[in-house]
Amino acid sequence: MPCARTTAGKIDRTKPLRPKLVGYYTKGARPNWTRMNEYHAWKDHVREHAPAGLPQPVQGRPVRVDIWCWFADGTHNDPENVRKGIVDALYPKGDKFVFGYHHFPQYDASNPRVEVQVSA
């Protein structure tokens, strides 16, 4: 899933999308505004492309979210952090009953992407 570009820490939706898989970000003592904006744009992108009717996790009925990442090259985010960002986007009310795993990073320079499998 390509994501919006950022310029000086602001999302610029007028520029073409770029293939970048963005990992989890938490604001620390010194916030990285560019990184944070990329993360929020990534979560918006995930929500826009998620199918309707995803199973909702509740006690006794957990949801499994597995991901496969194909990165453009060897410089990339940790696949586990990409998974965390996807789970945060799909389940903003909490992921207490969400489990799953990420597969080892794979590479495809012509088609970087992430594939997500959600099952109840």
| Three-state DSSP string of the chain | CCECEEECCEEECCCCCECCCCCCCCCCCCCCHHHHHHHHHHHHHHHHHCCCCCCCCECCECEEEEEEEEECCCCCCCHHHHHHHHHHHHCCCCCCCEECCECCCEECCCCCEEEEEEEC
Task: pLDDT band for 8, please (50, 70, 90 cuts).
Answer: low
Domain ranges of the chain: 5-119
Domain 5-119 has CATH 3.30.70: no
Q: The whole model's pTM is what?
A: 0.72
More confident site: 77 or 107: 107
Model confidence pLDDT, tens digit, residues 103-114: 999 999 898 889
